[in-house]
């Protein structure tokens, strides 16, 4: 009887081992399927990031064009003789808004930070030399971290205007 019991136990253990092997094979197949889906998701993510970068570039270009049109409109606008109170451009809020718009038009990748390349690219048609742009960058970079935040740009916008108007 002990042998019969041992045989039954052995068969039961063997069936359990086969069952575990089947489960392991199924889990491996599921893992392989999930890895394939993960790879597909990574590819889709990379594609979407590329599209996002392209759209950010287009938005930056549109902002630059809108800013140029706005500046062109401001220089060709006919002023009336009616006293309309203080000029909009003389208010601190108007200066801040102008600085924000200008910063966003130069911030090509939209990360809220300007590096030297972005500033140079954004000012390439301003008439400033590379040396003047570099000096302006270091003047705007008040904390010397080799990048200009929007706050630094707004705070130093008067230097930006002065450099732009000197040419």
CATH of the domain at 149: 1.10.238.10
In which domain, by residue range, is 38 found?
1-58
Half-sphere exposure of 125 (CA within 13 A, CB side): 4
Question: Whose structure tokens read 């590819």?
Answer: 43
The answer to whether the CB of 133 falls within 8 A of the CB of 122 is: no
- Shared domain for 99 and 47, answered yes or no, is no
- Shared domain for 54 and 104, answered yes or no, is no
- Shared domain for 97 and 158, answered yes or no, is yes
- Shared domain for 47 and 101, answered yes or no, is no
Q: What is the pTM of this model?
A: 0.44
Sign of the C-alpha dihedral, residues 134, 140, 142, 146? negative
Q: What is residue 114's predicted lDDT score, i.e. its pLDDT?
A: 93
Please indicate, yes or no, if residue 67 is contained in any of the structural domains. Answer: no
Q: What is residue 164's predicted lDDT score, i.e. its pLDDT?
A: 63
Secondary structure (H, E, C), 108-131: CCCCCEECHHHHHHHCCCCCCCHH
pLDDT tens per residue, range 49-78: 888 788 777 767 766 766 665 555 554 444
Point out the domain boundary residue: 35, 58, 81.
Answer: 58
The angle subtended at Cα 65 by Cα 62 and Cα 71, nearest 5°, is: 140
Tell which wins on pLDDT, 19 or 104.
104
- Shared domain for 39 and 99, answered yes or no, is no
- Shared domain for 109 and 50, answered yes or no, is no
Q: In this predicted structure, which of 35-39, 94-98, 139-143, 158-162 has the lowest mean pLDDT?
A: 158-162
- Shared domain for 101 and 151, answered yes or no, is yes
Please indicate, yes or no, if residue 120 is contained in any of the structural domains. Answer: yes
Please indicate, yes or no, if residue 77 is contained in any of the structural domains. Answer: no
Q: Mean pLDDT in the chain?
A: 75
Tell which wins on pLDDT, 82 or 35.
35
- Shared domain for 47 and 109, answered yes or no, is no
- Shared domain for 160 and 99, answered yes or no, is yes
Please indicate, yes or no, if residue 146 is contained in any of the structural domains. Answer: yes
Please indicate, yes or no, if residue 73 is contained in any of the structural domains. Answer: no
The answer to whether the CB of 124 falls within 8 A of the CB of 134 is: no
Sign of the C-alpha dihedral, residues 47, 49, 51, 57? negative
Q: What is residue 82's predicted lDDT score, i.e. its pLDDT?
A: 40
Q: What is residue 148's predicted lDDT score, i.e. its pLDDT?
A: 93
Share of the chain above pLDDT 90, in %: 9
Please indicate, yes or no, if residue 70 is contained in any of the structural domains. Answer: no
- Shared domain for 94 and 146, answered yes or no, is yes
Residue 80 pLDDT exceeds 60: no
Using CA atoms, how far apart are residues 81 and 99, in angstroms rounded to an integer? 28
- How many independent structural domains does the chain possess? 2
- Shared domain for 46 and 96, answered yes or no, is no
- Shared domain for 53 and 106, answered yes or no, is no
Residue range 92-102: mean pLDDT, rounded: 83
pLDDT tens per residue, range 110-156: 899 999 999 888 888 778 888 888 888 988 999 999 999 999 998 88
Q: What is residue 54's predicted lDDT score, i.e. its pLDDT?
A: 82
């Amino acid at each position: 009887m002990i042998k019969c019991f041992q045989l039954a136990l052995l068969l039961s253990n063997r069936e359990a081992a086969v069952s575990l092997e089947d489960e392991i094979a199924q889990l491996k197949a599921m893992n392989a399927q999930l890895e394939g889906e993960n790879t597909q998701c990574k590819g889709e993510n990379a594609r979407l990031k590329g599209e996002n970068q392209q759209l950010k570039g287009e938005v930056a270009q549109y902002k630059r064009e809108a800013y140029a049109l706005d500046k062109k409109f401001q220089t060709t606008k006919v002023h009336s003789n009616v006293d309309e109170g203080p000029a909009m451009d003389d208010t601190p809020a108007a200066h801040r808004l102008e600085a924000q718009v200008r910063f966003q038009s130069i911030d090509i990748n939209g990360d809220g930070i300007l590096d030297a390349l972005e500033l140079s690219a954004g000012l390439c048609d301003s008439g400033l030399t590379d040396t003047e742009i570099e000096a302006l960058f270091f003047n705007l970079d008040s904390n010397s971290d080799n990048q200009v935040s929007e706050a630094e740009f707004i705070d130093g916008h008067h230097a930006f205007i002065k450099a732009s108007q000197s040419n």
